[in-house]
Chains A and B, each alone.
Chain A
């Protein structure tokens, strides 16, 4: 994967973040350094080593019982805007 300014532009678009040309130029080498350091992991020989992921039995799953959690007031408390008890979000989507 080539980490260049276009890669960063694509990531910004998927994350719906607007970055200026200056920011793109600043963040590209930073992103490159981060990903390269994670890449070091790829050099470790993992042949024959099974993934270390926890396994549970089907019977350990949660039973289907419903409970009420947050109140409507609590749900809406962090919303910047609301209308008729719905969360209101400004902006054109797609």
Chain B
């Protein structure tokens, strides 16, 4: 999507429902997915007159945690504001949000080739779920409302207009989702609406504009093209696709000499296009005012220090460690760091194998192959997560050591691991059985070789007289007796030993 004439300017707003037990300002349960409608509702989240909001401590901790993970400055005072608009999914007539003083500001997220600057992360509350219908018979339009979602804690993460391509936007959204999942801030499942991305896009001529903080300003007499917002994005892939579509559409419009009107468009995933939703000729009039029902909340350094204890090593740090210290390929490092449960298993396995081998890169390579090979193939096939695979670290260590010492061939080892996973069998028991069997078959093989030597006097003499081809004949005899199950190399070494 590189273009010689135009720059692509993207800002991203991401909403994430944080993982708390109770709602943002009342004690109603948050879990609303597939629940009976209007059963997790109280006077506060129903907006009944006189009901008072009481902020949820854990929700604010999770907002701060997201800010710490993205290197934001954390405010030492929290203020809430009312954002007014009339819509049936918002029974109070206003949403409690934050306007001038967000909890977190000026953060950054490092991507593979660039850094995305975060303008702010603020705390707010989700609205009710509404669906729109037309009544059969009367043809009247109506909406159905379930208030279970009303008041669920929601954080909004806003970037500066510093993203320059759809692939950067996709990488950024993926990284935010990964951080949220790693730190248990949210499951961030976009299909369930736990994470929502809204890109805003404008196309400007190269060299005719500059970014000043969160603003895009024109240089000289240049007239900026209007900004487009995209809504209804249901997956990370759709972030990239919808931006690509919109960029192409905007460039076509501009090239055709058309004036771009500021508007909100919706992504239609089935058709793969964005569709006009509403024009935004005037800025929204939300009549923000300070929320009088919630006091100012002080955040001390002790509070942020305590919350920062929840900051575990994030995927970008893990990736860096896997590549530079463990000497893994970038591909393997990416695959192993992407999911927290996989990374935790991998880290444990490496430490335990290294304890035995005293060789870090080899241990890392073994653990990496073990997880990304047979184990990944198996969990993908079964469609389960790594945490529900019931893997035993000690067993996996023993398996990797056997493989490393060449005690067992790769294909045989993989067969055993597979068997233990498929039939929930103890892997160390399978390894022990294998060892017993192979020592028995080794004794057997020596007997067979001795027998072949006795019965093939001529070939033995030929070999002793320097005819190397006779060795092939003798191996062939052993293979015939064992019906091909003997290992040719092993047979050869036993033959040589016995002929000396």
Contacts and interface: CB of A to CB of B under 8 A. Distances in A.
Partners in one complex: yes
Interface of A: 10, 14-16, 53-59, 61-72, 75-76, 81, 83-94
For the complex, would chain B's binding face be called helix, strand, loop or mixed by DSSP majority? loop
Interface stretch (B53-61, B439-447, B478-486): B53-61
Contacts of B325: none
Interface in B134-169: 140-147
B54 to A, nearest CB: 5
B144 A88 contact: yes
B27 A66 contact: yes
Given A63-B57, A88-B142, A93-B87, 7 more contacts: A57-B300, A64-B58, A72-B36, A86-B38, A87-B144, A91-B142, A93-B143
Contacts of A84: 37, 144
A67 B86 contact: no
Interface stretch (B40-48, B104-112, B184-192, B399-407): B40-48
Contacts of A54: 295-296
For the complex, would chain A's binding face be called helix, strand, loop or mixed by DSSP majority? loop
Interface of B: 20-22, 26-30, 36-43, 46, 54-60, 77, 84-88, 132, 140-147, 278, 285, 287, 290, 295-300, 303
Of A16, A63, A85, A87, the most chain B CB neighbours within 10 A belong to: A87
B298 A57 contact: yes
Contact of A69 (B28, B59, B145, B296): B28
Nearest to B26: A69
Contact of A65 (B27, B88, B287): B27
Contacts of A57: 297-298, 300
A10 B30 CA distance: 36
A65 B144 contact: no
B145 A90 contact: no
Nearest to B58: A64
A69 B27 contact: yes
Nearest to A16: B86
B29 A85 contact: no
Given A83-B144, A86-B145, A61 B297 contact: yes
A14 B146 CA distance: 24
B280 to A, nearest CB: 12
Contact of A85 (B37, B87, B296, B297): B37
Given A58-B299, A65-B21, A68-B29, A89 B88 contact: yes
Contacts of B88: 87, 89, 93
A27 to B, nearest CB: 18
Contacts of A76: 38
B29 A53 contact: no
Contacts of A62: 22, 27, 54-57
A71 B26 CA distance: 15
Of A10, A58, A88, A89, the most chain B CB neighbours within 10 A belong to: A58
A36 B278 CA distance: 36
B22 A64 contact: yes
Contacts of A59: 57
A62 B56 CA distance: 5
Contacts of A87: 38, 88, 144-147
A56 B86 CA distance: 31
B141 A92 contact: yes
Contacts of A64: 20-22, 56-59
Contacts of B39: 68, 71-72, 75
B339 to A, nearest CB: 26
A6 B54 CA distance: 38
Contact of B56 (A61, A72, A89, A90): A61
Of B36, B56, B278, B300, the most chain A CB neighbours within 10 A belong to: B56
Given A64-B59, A85-B36, A90 B41 contact: no
Contacts of B147: 75, 87
A34 to B, nearest CB: 16
Nearest to B306: A58
A70 to B, nearest CB: 6
A89 B142 contact: yes
B297 A58 contact: yes
